[in-house]
Structure 1
Amino acid sequence: MKLALWQGTSPASNLDSACAQAETALAAAAAMGAAALVLPEIWLQGYNQPDIPARAVALDSPPMHRLAAAAKRSGCALVVGYAERDATSVHNSAACFGPDGALLANYRKVQLYGMRERSLYTPGDAYATFRLGDETAAILICYDIEFAPHIKALSDSGVTVILCPTANMQPFTHVIRHTVPAMAANHAVSIAYANYCGQEGDLTYVGGSLIAGPHGEVLAQAGQMPALLVAELPPPDPVHLSTQSADLRVLK
Protein backbone atom coordinates (compact mmCIF):
# COMPACT_ATOMS: atom_id res chain seq x y z
CA MET A 1 0.00 0.00 0.00
CA LYS A 2 1.11 3.55 -0.75
CA LEU A 3 0.28 6.39 1.64
CA ALA A 4 0.45 10.10 0.91
CA LEU A 5 0.39 13.27 2.99
CA TRP A 6 0.22 16.96 2.24
CA GLN A 7 2.35 19.44 4.20
CA GLY A 8 1.25 22.99 3.58
CA THR A 9 0.87 26.44 5.10
CA SER A 10 -2.38 27.16 6.89
CA PRO A 11 -5.35 28.07 4.67
CA ALA A 12 -6.16 30.64 7.39
CA SER A 13 -9.90 29.91 7.44
CA ASN A 14 -10.26 30.20 3.66
CA LEU A 15 -12.44 27.11 3.17
CA ASP A 16 -12.29 27.32 -0.61
CA SER A 17 -8.47 27.39 -0.55
CA ALA A 18 -8.37 24.53 1.95
CA CYS A 19 -10.61 22.38 -0.25
CA ALA A 20 -8.81 23.36 -3.46
CA GLN A 21 -5.42 22.38 -2.03
CA ALA A 22 -6.89 19.08 -0.87
CA GLU A 23 -8.35 18.42 -4.33
CA THR A 24 -5.02 19.13 -6.05
CA ALA A 25 -3.09 16.95 -3.59
CA LEU A 26 -5.66 14.15 -3.92
CA ALA A 27 -5.38 14.12 -7.71
CA ALA A 28 -1.58 13.99 -7.54
CA ALA A 29 -1.55 11.32 -4.81
CA ALA A 30 -4.02 9.19 -6.75
CA ALA A 31 -1.93 9.52 -9.93
CA MET A 32 1.00 8.07 -7.97
CA GLY A 33 -1.10 5.15 -6.72
CA ALA A 34 -1.66 6.25 -3.12
CA ALA A 35 -4.48 4.57 -1.23
CA ALA A 36 -4.97 7.52 1.15
CA LEU A 37 -3.92 11.14 1.62
CA VAL A 38 -3.57 12.74 5.07
CA LEU A 39 -3.94 16.51 5.64
CA PRO A 40 -2.81 18.47 8.73
CA GLU A 41 -4.74 19.11 11.97
CA ILE A 42 -7.76 21.48 11.75
CA TRP A 43 -6.89 21.91 8.07
CA LEU A 44 -10.23 23.40 7.04
CA GLN A 45 -10.16 26.31 9.45
CA GLY A 46 -6.43 26.52 10.18
CA TYR A 47 -5.12 25.32 13.53
CA ASN A 48 -4.19 28.68 15.06
CA GLN A 49 -7.00 30.88 13.77
CA PRO A 50 -9.18 33.09 16.00
CA ASP A 51 -12.86 32.43 16.66
CA ILE A 52 -12.61 28.69 16.06
CA PRO A 53 -16.05 27.98 17.60
CA ALA A 54 -17.65 30.40 15.11
CA ARG A 55 -15.76 28.77 12.23
CA ALA A 56 -16.49 25.15 13.21
CA VAL A 57 -18.54 23.09 10.75
CA ALA A 58 -20.64 19.97 11.04
CA LEU A 59 -19.56 16.66 9.56
CA ASP A 60 -22.61 17.00 7.31
CA SER A 61 -21.70 20.39 5.78
CA PRO A 62 -20.90 21.71 2.28
CA PRO A 63 -17.08 21.74 2.61
CA MET A 64 -17.09 18.18 3.95
CA HIS A 65 -19.40 17.10 1.10
CA ARG A 66 -16.97 18.73 -1.34
CA LEU A 67 -14.04 16.77 0.12
CA ALA A 68 -16.00 13.50 0.07
CA ALA A 69 -16.75 14.12 -3.62
CA ALA A 70 -13.07 14.83 -4.27
CA ALA A 71 -12.08 11.53 -2.65
CA LYS A 72 -14.60 9.70 -4.83
CA ARG A 73 -13.47 11.51 -7.96
CA SER A 74 -9.82 10.66 -7.34
CA GLY A 75 -10.39 7.14 -6.05
CA CYS A 76 -8.10 7.96 -3.10
CA ALA A 77 -9.17 8.00 0.54
CA LEU A 78 -8.78 11.31 2.39
CA VAL A 79 -8.15 12.13 6.06
CA VAL A 80 -8.90 15.78 6.82
CA GLY A 81 -8.57 17.59 10.15
CA TYR A 82 -11.28 20.10 11.00
CA ALA A 83 -13.01 21.90 13.85
CA GLU A 84 -16.26 19.96 14.18
CA ARG A 85 -19.47 21.49 15.49
CA ASP A 86 -22.07 19.05 16.79
CA ALA A 87 -25.29 19.83 18.64
CA THR A 88 -23.64 20.88 21.88
CA SER A 89 -19.85 21.00 21.49
CA VAL A 90 -16.84 21.75 19.32
CA HIS A 91 -14.30 18.97 18.72
CA ASN A 92 -10.81 18.76 17.25
CA SER A 93 -11.71 16.09 14.70
CA ALA A 94 -10.52 14.26 11.63
CA ALA A 95 -12.77 12.52 9.12
CA CYS A 96 -11.76 9.82 6.68
CA PHE A 97 -13.63 9.55 3.38
CA GLY A 98 -13.03 6.35 1.45
CA PRO A 99 -12.10 6.08 -2.24
CA ASP A 100 -15.83 5.85 -3.01
CA GLY A 101 -16.55 9.04 -1.04
CA ALA A 102 -18.25 7.21 1.84
CA LEU A 103 -17.43 8.18 5.42
CA LEU A 104 -15.14 5.55 6.93
CA ALA A 105 -14.49 7.23 10.28
CA ASN A 106 -14.83 10.46 12.22
CA TYR A 107 -12.38 10.69 15.12
CA ARG A 108 -12.29 13.28 17.90
CA LYS A 109 -8.94 14.08 19.50
CA VAL A 110 -8.56 12.47 22.92
CA GLN A 111 -5.40 14.20 24.18
CA LEU A 112 -6.05 17.91 23.89
CA TYR A 113 -2.83 19.94 24.03
CA GLY A 114 -2.40 22.98 26.24
CA MET A 115 -4.81 25.50 27.68
CA ARG A 116 -5.97 26.84 24.30
CA GLU A 117 -7.15 23.46 23.01
CA ARG A 118 -8.75 22.57 26.33
CA SER A 119 -10.66 25.86 26.28
CA LEU A 120 -11.87 25.38 22.70
CA TYR A 121 -12.65 21.70 22.34
CA THR A 122 -14.44 18.85 24.04
CA PRO A 123 -12.17 15.77 24.03
CA GLY A 124 -13.16 12.58 22.29
CA ASP A 125 -13.68 9.35 24.18
CA ALA A 126 -13.25 6.59 21.58
CA TYR A 127 -10.87 5.30 18.94
CA ALA A 128 -11.93 5.10 15.30
CA THR A 129 -10.70 2.09 13.32
CA PHE A 130 -11.62 1.01 9.80
CA ARG A 131 -10.46 -1.07 6.85
CA LEU A 132 -8.22 0.63 4.30
CA GLY A 133 -7.42 -1.79 1.51
CA ASP A 134 -5.86 -4.82 3.14
CA GLU A 135 -4.87 -2.88 6.27
CA THR A 136 -6.69 -2.02 9.48
CA ALA A 137 -6.30 1.72 9.99
CA ALA A 138 -6.96 4.23 12.76
CA ILE A 139 -6.78 7.99 13.15
CA LEU A 140 -4.93 9.82 15.92
CA ILE A 141 -4.40 13.58 16.03
CA CYS A 142 -1.12 15.33 16.91
CA TYR A 143 -0.55 15.00 20.70
CA ASP A 144 -2.38 11.65 20.72
CA ILE A 145 0.52 10.01 18.87
CA GLU A 146 2.91 10.82 21.72
CA PHE A 147 1.08 8.55 24.18
CA ALA A 148 2.32 4.96 24.00
CA PRO A 149 -0.81 3.52 25.68
CA HIS A 150 -2.95 4.71 22.75
CA ILE A 151 -0.57 3.21 20.18
CA LYS A 152 -0.44 -0.04 22.14
CA ALA A 153 -4.24 -0.22 22.42
CA LEU A 154 -4.64 0.25 18.68
CA SER A 155 -1.88 -2.21 17.82
CA ASP A 156 -3.35 -4.79 20.20
CA SER A 157 -6.71 -4.42 18.43
CA GLY A 158 -5.10 -5.26 15.06
CA VAL A 159 -4.39 -1.78 13.70
CA THR A 160 -1.43 -1.73 11.29
CA VAL A 161 -1.63 1.86 9.95
CA ILE A 162 -2.15 5.10 11.90
CA LEU A 163 -3.08 8.26 9.99
CA CYS A 164 -2.19 11.36 11.99
CA PRO A 165 -3.03 15.00 11.16
CA THR A 166 -0.86 17.30 13.28
CA ALA A 167 0.09 20.92 13.97
CA ASN A 168 3.52 20.41 15.53
CA MET A 169 5.22 23.70 16.28
CA GLN A 170 8.59 24.92 17.52
CA PRO A 171 10.39 23.88 19.67
CA PHE A 172 9.07 20.30 19.55
CA THR A 173 11.33 18.92 16.82
CA HIS A 174 11.98 15.76 18.86
CA VAL A 175 8.54 14.50 17.81
CA ILE A 176 9.39 14.34 14.10
CA ARG A 177 12.96 13.21 14.72
CA HIS A 178 12.45 10.57 17.38
CA THR A 179 8.95 10.10 18.80
CA VAL A 180 7.02 9.12 15.69
CA PRO A 181 9.61 6.62 14.35
CA ALA A 182 9.98 5.13 17.85
CA MET A 183 6.23 4.70 18.25
CA ALA A 184 6.07 2.97 14.88
CA ALA A 185 8.94 0.62 15.75
CA ASN A 186 7.86 -0.18 19.30
CA HIS A 187 4.31 -1.08 18.29
CA ALA A 188 4.86 -2.49 14.77
CA VAL A 189 2.61 0.02 13.01
CA SER A 190 3.08 2.39 10.08
CA ILE A 191 2.40 6.07 10.79
CA ALA A 192 1.65 8.89 8.34
CA TYR A 193 2.19 12.18 10.22
CA ALA A 194 0.98 15.23 8.26
CA ASN A 195 2.15 18.58 9.63
CA TYR A 196 1.99 22.25 8.65
CA CYS A 197 4.94 24.36 7.61
CA GLY A 198 5.48 28.12 7.84
CA GLN A 199 3.95 30.47 10.38
CA GLU A 200 0.41 30.98 11.61
CA GLY A 201 -0.14 33.75 14.11
CA ASP A 202 2.36 33.30 16.93
CA LEU A 203 3.23 29.71 15.94
CA THR A 204 6.09 28.53 13.74
CA TYR A 205 5.53 24.98 12.53
CA VAL A 206 8.44 22.55 12.35
CA GLY A 207 7.35 20.87 9.11
CA GLY A 208 9.11 17.52 8.93
CA SER A 209 5.99 15.55 8.01
CA LEU A 210 6.88 11.88 7.66
CA ILE A 211 5.77 8.39 6.81
CA ALA A 212 7.32 5.79 9.10
CA GLY A 213 7.21 2.06 8.42
CA PRO A 214 6.41 -0.70 10.93
CA HIS A 215 10.09 -1.25 11.73
CA GLY A 216 10.59 2.42 12.59
CA GLU A 217 12.22 3.28 9.29
CA VAL A 218 11.53 6.76 7.88
CA LEU A 219 10.20 6.05 4.39
CA ALA A 220 9.76 9.71 3.40
CA GLN A 221 10.15 13.03 5.20
CA ALA A 222 9.49 16.63 4.25
CA GLY A 223 11.64 19.63 5.06
CA GLN A 224 10.21 23.01 6.05
CA MET A 225 8.43 23.87 2.80
CA PRO A 226 5.11 22.70 1.27
CA ALA A 227 5.44 19.11 0.07
CA LEU A 228 3.46 16.13 -1.11
CA LEU A 229 4.95 12.89 0.18
CA VAL A 230 4.10 9.44 -1.19
CA ALA A 231 5.70 6.27 0.11
CA GLU A 232 5.02 2.57 -0.26
CA LEU A 233 4.74 0.65 2.99
CA PRO A 234 7.11 -2.32 3.07
CA PRO A 235 5.77 -5.80 3.73
CA PRO A 236 6.25 -6.43 7.46
CA ASP A 237 9.20 -8.64 8.32
CA PRO A 238 8.25 -10.83 11.31
CA VAL A 239 11.90 -11.11 12.30
CA HIS A 240 12.15 -7.35 12.78
CA LEU A 241 8.65 -6.49 14.03
CA SER A 242 8.45 -5.54 17.68
CA THR A 243 6.90 -8.09 20.05
CA GLN A 244 6.81 -5.67 23.00
CA SER A 245 3.07 -5.89 23.45
CA ALA A 246 3.06 -9.68 23.70
CA ASP A 247 6.20 -9.72 25.84
CA LEU A 248 5.19 -7.04 28.33
CA ARG A 249 5.31 -8.11 31.98
CA VAL A 250 2.90 -6.08 34.07
CA LEU A 251 4.23 -5.58 37.60
CA LYS A 252 1.76 -5.39 40.45
Structure 2
Amino acid sequence: MRLATWQGASPASDLETGLAEAERALAAAAAMGAAALVLPEVWLPGYNQDDIPARALEIDSAPMRRLADSARKTGCALVVGYAQRDGDSVYNAAACFGPDGGLLANYRKVQLYGPRERAIYAPGDAYALFPLAGETAALLICYDVEFAPHVKALADRGATVILNPTANMMPFTHVVRYTVPAMAANHAVTIAYANYCGSEGDLTYVGGSQIVGPHGEVLALAGDHPALLVAEVPPRDPARLSTQTADLRHVK
Protein backbone atom coordinates (compact mmCIF):
# COMPACT_ATOMS: atom_id res chain seq x y z
CA MET A 1 0.00 0.00 0.00
CA ARG A 2 1.29 3.45 -0.91
CA LEU A 3 0.12 6.41 1.17
CA ALA A 4 0.51 10.18 0.85
CA THR A 5 0.18 13.18 3.15
CA TRP A 6 0.05 16.87 2.26
CA GLN A 7 1.67 19.40 4.60
CA GLY A 8 0.83 22.99 3.77
CA ALA A 9 -0.02 26.40 5.16
CA SER A 10 -3.61 26.97 6.27
CA PRO A 11 -6.00 28.17 3.55
CA ALA A 12 -7.11 30.76 6.15
CA SER A 13 -10.79 30.71 5.16
CA ASP A 14 -10.02 31.06 1.44
CA LEU A 15 -12.19 28.19 0.24
CA GLU A 16 -10.98 28.25 -3.35
CA THR A 17 -7.34 28.17 -2.25
CA GLY A 18 -8.02 25.20 0.03
CA LEU A 19 -9.86 23.26 -2.65
CA ALA A 20 -7.34 24.01 -5.40
CA GLU A 21 -4.38 23.06 -3.22
CA ALA A 22 -6.09 19.82 -2.23
CA GLU A 23 -6.75 19.00 -5.88
CA ARG A 24 -3.14 19.66 -6.89
CA ALA A 25 -1.81 17.50 -4.07
CA LEU A 26 -4.29 14.76 -4.90
CA ALA A 27 -3.31 14.73 -8.58
CA ALA A 28 0.37 14.51 -7.65
CA ALA A 29 -0.23 11.75 -5.10
CA ALA A 30 -2.26 9.77 -7.63
CA ALA A 31 0.47 10.19 -10.27
CA MET A 32 2.89 8.58 -7.82
CA GLY A 33 0.58 5.64 -7.22
CA ALA A 34 -0.77 6.53 -3.78
CA ALA A 35 -3.90 4.77 -2.66
CA ALA A 36 -4.89 7.68 -0.41
CA LEU A 37 -3.90 11.25 0.41
CA VAL A 38 -4.39 12.76 3.87
CA LEU A 39 -4.86 16.53 4.37
CA PRO A 40 -4.47 18.41 7.69
CA GLU A 41 -7.10 18.96 10.39
CA VAL A 42 -9.94 21.38 9.54
CA TRP A 43 -8.31 22.07 6.18
CA LEU A 44 -11.61 23.67 5.30
CA PRO A 45 -11.76 26.49 6.33
CA GLY A 46 -8.44 26.35 8.25
CA TYR A 47 -7.85 25.23 11.82
CA ASN A 48 -7.31 28.55 13.63
CA GLN A 49 -9.96 30.75 12.03
CA ASP A 50 -12.25 33.00 14.07
CA ASP A 51 -15.47 32.29 12.15
CA ILE A 52 -15.48 28.52 11.93
CA PRO A 53 -19.17 28.03 12.89
CA ALA A 54 -20.22 30.39 10.09
CA ARG A 55 -17.98 28.61 7.57
CA ALA A 56 -18.71 25.01 8.60
CA LEU A 57 -19.73 22.75 5.72
CA GLU A 58 -22.34 20.04 5.44
CA ILE A 59 -21.06 16.71 4.23
CA ASP A 60 -23.04 16.99 0.99
CA SER A 61 -22.13 20.64 0.31
CA ALA A 62 -20.74 21.74 -3.06
CA PRO A 63 -17.11 22.00 -1.83
CA MET A 64 -17.22 18.48 -0.42
CA ARG A 65 -18.82 17.14 -3.60
CA ARG A 66 -16.02 18.81 -5.56
CA LEU A 67 -13.40 16.95 -3.52
CA ALA A 68 -15.30 13.68 -3.92
CA ASP A 69 -15.29 14.22 -7.68
CA SER A 70 -11.55 14.90 -7.60
CA ALA A 71 -11.00 11.60 -5.81
CA ARG A 72 -13.04 9.86 -8.51
CA LYS A 73 -11.18 11.55 -11.35
CA THR A 74 -7.75 10.69 -9.95
CA GLY A 75 -8.65 7.24 -8.62
CA CYS A 76 -7.01 8.17 -5.30
CA ALA A 77 -8.85 8.22 -1.99
CA LEU A 78 -8.83 11.52 -0.12
CA VAL A 79 -9.06 12.27 3.61
CA VAL A 80 -9.93 15.90 4.29
CA GLY A 81 -10.30 17.52 7.69
CA TYR A 82 -13.17 20.00 7.83
CA ALA A 83 -15.57 21.77 10.15
CA GLN A 84 -18.83 19.88 9.70
CA ARG A 85 -22.21 21.53 10.12
CA ASP A 86 -24.94 19.10 11.16
CA GLY A 87 -28.09 20.92 12.22
CA ASP A 88 -27.29 23.17 15.14
CA SER A 89 -24.00 21.38 15.90
CA VAL A 90 -20.50 21.80 14.49
CA TYR A 91 -17.97 18.96 14.54
CA ASN A 92 -14.24 18.75 13.96
CA ALA A 93 -14.54 16.07 11.29
CA ALA A 94 -12.64 14.14 8.65
CA ALA A 95 -14.24 12.65 5.56
CA CYS A 96 -12.69 9.93 3.43
CA PHE A 97 -13.79 9.80 -0.20
CA GLY A 98 -12.87 6.58 -1.96
CA PRO A 99 -11.22 6.21 -5.38
CA ASP A 100 -14.70 6.01 -6.91
CA GLY A 101 -15.75 9.27 -5.22
CA GLY A 102 -18.04 7.55 -2.74
CA LEU A 103 -17.98 8.45 0.94
CA LEU A 104 -16.13 5.69 2.78
CA ALA A 105 -16.28 7.28 6.24
CA ASN A 106 -17.02 10.48 8.11
CA TYR A 107 -15.39 10.68 11.53
CA ARG A 108 -15.88 13.27 14.27
CA LYS A 109 -13.01 14.05 16.63
CA VAL A 110 -13.52 12.42 20.01
CA GLN A 111 -10.75 14.12 22.02
CA LEU A 112 -11.32 17.84 21.58
CA TYR A 113 -8.20 19.78 22.53
CA GLY A 114 -8.32 22.77 24.88
CA PRO A 115 -11.04 25.32 25.66
CA ARG A 116 -11.18 26.75 22.14
CA GLU A 117 -12.09 23.45 20.48
CA ARG A 118 -14.55 22.59 23.22
CA ALA A 119 -16.24 25.98 22.74
CA ILE A 120 -16.61 25.50 18.97
CA TYR A 121 -17.25 21.79 18.46
CA ALA A 122 -19.42 19.01 19.79
CA PRO A 123 -17.39 15.85 20.47
CA GLY A 124 -17.68 12.74 18.35
CA ASP A 125 -18.74 9.46 19.91
CA ALA A 126 -17.90 6.72 17.41
CA TYR A 127 -14.98 5.21 15.52
CA ALA A 128 -14.91 4.86 11.74
CA LEU A 129 -13.33 1.81 10.10
CA PHE A 130 -13.55 0.91 6.41
CA PRO A 131 -11.79 -1.15 3.71
CA LEU A 132 -9.15 0.65 1.67
CA ALA A 133 -6.76 -0.86 -0.88
CA GLY A 134 -6.83 -4.28 0.76
CA GLU A 135 -6.35 -2.94 4.29
CA THR A 136 -8.69 -2.00 7.11
CA ALA A 137 -8.36 1.74 7.60
CA ALA A 138 -9.59 4.04 10.35
CA LEU A 139 -9.67 7.77 10.99
CA LEU A 140 -8.42 9.71 13.99
CA ILE A 141 -7.89 13.47 14.26
CA CYS A 142 -4.86 15.12 15.90
CA TYR A 143 -5.15 14.77 19.70
CA ASP A 144 -7.05 11.48 19.31
CA VAL A 145 -3.92 9.62 18.22
CA GLU A 146 -2.08 10.58 21.42
CA PHE A 147 -4.48 8.40 23.44
CA ALA A 148 -3.31 4.78 23.47
CA PRO A 149 -6.80 3.44 24.33
CA HIS A 150 -8.18 4.82 21.04
CA VAL A 151 -5.34 3.42 18.95
CA LYS A 152 -5.65 0.08 20.74
CA ALA A 153 -9.42 0.02 20.24
CA LEU A 154 -8.98 0.47 16.50
CA ALA A 155 -6.25 -2.17 16.31
CA ASP A 156 -8.43 -4.58 18.30
CA ARG A 157 -11.21 -4.00 15.74
CA GLY A 158 -8.85 -4.97 12.94
CA ALA A 159 -7.51 -1.61 11.79
CA THR A 160 -4.11 -1.85 10.11
CA VAL A 161 -3.92 1.77 8.89
CA ILE A 162 -4.83 5.00 10.71
CA LEU A 163 -5.26 8.13 8.60
CA ASN A 164 -4.76 11.16 10.85
CA PRO A 165 -5.30 14.82 9.93
CA THR A 166 -3.70 17.07 12.54
CA ALA A 167 -2.97 20.68 13.49
CA ASN A 168 -0.08 20.14 15.88
CA MET A 169 1.46 23.38 17.06
CA MET A 170 4.41 24.58 19.10
CA PRO A 171 5.65 23.57 21.60
CA PHE A 172 4.41 20.00 21.10
CA THR A 173 7.29 18.71 19.00
CA HIS A 174 7.44 15.51 21.08
CA VAL A 175 4.26 14.30 19.39
CA VAL A 176 5.82 14.12 15.93
CA ARG A 177 9.21 12.99 17.21
CA TYR A 178 8.14 10.26 19.59
CA THR A 179 4.42 9.81 20.19
CA VAL A 180 3.26 8.96 16.67
CA PRO A 181 6.03 6.43 15.92
CA ALA A 182 5.52 4.84 19.36
CA MET A 183 1.78 4.48 18.79
CA ALA A 184 2.41 2.80 15.45
CA ALA A 185 4.96 0.40 16.92
CA ASN A 186 3.07 -0.43 20.10
CA HIS A 187 -0.18 -1.21 18.30
CA ALA A 188 1.18 -2.62 15.01
CA VAL A 189 -0.57 -0.07 12.79
CA THR A 190 0.54 2.23 10.00
CA ILE A 191 -0.13 5.91 10.71
CA ALA A 192 -0.31 8.64 8.07
CA TYR A 193 -0.10 11.92 10.00
CA ALA A 194 -0.75 15.13 8.02
CA ASN A 195 0.06 18.42 9.74
CA TYR A 196 0.22 22.10 8.82
CA CYS A 197 3.35 24.22 8.52
CA GLY A 198 3.87 27.93 9.00
CA SER A 199 1.75 30.17 11.22
CA GLU A 200 -1.95 30.86 11.51
CA GLY A 201 -3.04 33.61 13.88
CA ASP A 202 -1.35 33.00 17.21
CA LEU A 203 -0.31 29.43 16.35
CA THR A 204 2.95 28.22 14.84
CA TYR A 205 2.69 24.68 13.52
CA VAL A 206 5.51 22.20 14.03
CA GLY A 207 5.26 20.46 10.65
CA GLY A 208 6.67 16.98 10.98
CA SER A 209 4.02 15.26 8.88
CA GLN A 210 4.95 11.62 8.55
CA ILE A 211 4.08 8.14 7.39
CA VAL A 212 5.04 5.50 9.95
CA GLY A 213 4.99 1.77 9.28
CA PRO A 214 3.48 -0.93 11.50
CA HIS A 215 6.86 -1.73 13.06
CA GLY A 216 7.40 1.90 14.10
CA GLU A 217 9.72 2.79 11.23
CA VAL A 218 9.39 6.36 9.92
CA LEU A 219 8.98 5.87 6.18
CA ALA A 220 8.68 9.56 5.27
CA LEU A 221 9.07 12.71 7.36
CA ALA A 222 8.51 16.38 6.50
CA GLY A 223 10.37 19.33 7.95
CA ASP A 224 8.68 22.65 8.59
CA HIS A 225 7.88 23.67 4.99
CA PRO A 226 5.18 22.57 2.52
CA ALA A 227 5.72 18.97 1.48
CA LEU A 228 3.96 16.11 -0.26
CA LEU A 229 5.05 12.82 1.28
CA VAL A 230 4.54 9.51 -0.52
CA ALA A 231 5.72 6.22 0.93
CA GLU A 232 5.30 2.53 0.29
CA VAL A 233 4.15 0.73 3.43
CA PRO A 234 6.07 -2.54 3.88
CA PRO A 235 4.27 -5.84 4.41
CA ARG A 236 3.51 -6.58 8.02
CA ASP A 237 6.17 -8.92 9.42
CA PRO A 238 4.60 -11.07 12.19
CA ALA A 239 8.01 -11.52 13.78
CA ARG A 240 8.34 -7.74 14.25
CA LEU A 241 4.78 -6.79 15.15
CA SER A 242 3.95 -5.77 18.70
CA THR A 243 2.35 -8.46 20.83
CA GLN A 244 1.28 -6.10 23.62
CA THR A 245 -2.42 -6.78 23.21
CA ALA A 246 -1.94 -10.53 23.57
CA ASP A 247 0.62 -10.22 26.36
CA LEU A 248 -1.03 -7.56 28.55
CA ARG A 249 -1.56 -8.66 32.17
CA HIS A 250 -4.19 -6.80 34.15
CA VAL A 251 -3.25 -6.01 37.73
CA LYS A 252 -6.02 -5.53 40.29
Between the aligned partners of 1:64 and 1:13, the Cα distance in structure 2 is: 15
Instruction: Provide the residue aligned with 1:227 in structure 2.
Output: 227
Q: Which residue of 2 aligns with 1:25?
A: 25
What amino acid maps onto 1:62 in structure 2? A
Please state whether the residue corresponding to 2:66 is helix, strand or coil.
Answer: helix
Counterpart residue number, 1:178: 178
Structure 1 match to 2:164 = 164
Q: Counterpart of 2:188 in structure 1: which amino acid? A: A
Alignment size in residue pairs: 252
- 3-state SS in 2 of match to 1:176: helix
* 1-structure distance, mates of 2:245, 2:143: 21
Tell me how far apart the structure 2 counterparts of residues 57 and 220 of structure 1 sit (CA, whole Å): 31
Residue number in structure 1 paired with 2:148: 148
Counterpart residue number, 2:214: 214
Shift in Å at residue 205 of structure 1?
A: 0.2
Structure 2 partner of 1:110: 110
Paired with 1:2 and 1:8, the residues of 2 have a C-alpha distance of: 20
Residue equivalent to 2:95: 95
Q: Please list the CA deviations of residues 201-249 of structure 1 after superposition, one character each: whole Å capped at 9, or x if unmatched.
A: 0000000100000000000000000000000000011111001011111
Report SS of the residue matched to 1:112: coil
1:199 aligns with 2:187: no
SS class of match (2:206): coil
Letter in 2 for 1:176: V
Structure 2 distance, partners of 1:239, 1:11, is 43
Q: TM-score normalised to the size of structure 2?
A: 0.99
Hey, what's the Cα distance between the residues in 2 that align with 1:113 and 1:162?
19
Q: Kindly provide the CA deviation profile for residues 143-196 of structure 1, in whole angstroms up to 9, marking residues without a partner as x.
A: 000000000000011000000000000000000000000000000000000000
Partner AA of 2:242 in structure 1: S
User: 1:56 — aligned with what?
Assistant: 56
CA deviation string 1:5-59 (max 9, x = no partner): 0000000011111110111001100000000000000001000001110110100
> 1:139 — aligned with what?
139
1:250 deviates by: 1.4
Is 1:46 aligned to 2:46, yes or no?
yes
Q: Which residue of 2 aligns with 1:244?
A: 244
Normalised by the length of structure 1, the TM-score is: 0.99
- 2:123 matches 1:123: yes
Q: Which amino acid aligns with 1:54?
A: A
Q: C-alpha separation between the residues in 1 aligned to 2:180 and 2:224?
A: 17
Q: How does 1:61-72 map to 2 (within 5 A)?
A: 61-72=61-72
Aligned-residue offset at 1:251: 1.7
* Moved beyond 6 Å, runs of 4+: none
CA distance in structure 1 between the partners assigned to 2:54 and 2:31 by the alignment: 36
- The share of aligned pairs that are identical, in percent, is 76
Query: Residue type of the partner of 1:151?
Result: V
1: CA distance, partners of 2:88 / 2:250: 40
What CA RMSD, in Å, does the superposition of the two structures yield over aligned residues? 0.4
Deviation at 1:98, TM superposition (A): 0.1
Displacement, 1:109?
0.0
CA distance in 2, matches of 1:208, 1:251: 37
Q: Is the partner of 2:137 in helix, strand or coil?
A: strand
SS for the counterpart of 1:37 is strand
Matched, 1:74 2:69: no
Aligned equivalents of 2:164, 2:57: Cα separation in 1: 20
Counterparts of 2:75 and 2:127 in 1: how far apart (Å)?
25
CA distance in 1 between counterparts of 2:137 and 2:124 reads 18
In the TM superposition, residue 88 of structure 1 has moved relative to its aligned partner by: 2.2
Amino acid in the other structure paired with 1:136: T
- State the shift of 1:133 in Å: 1.1
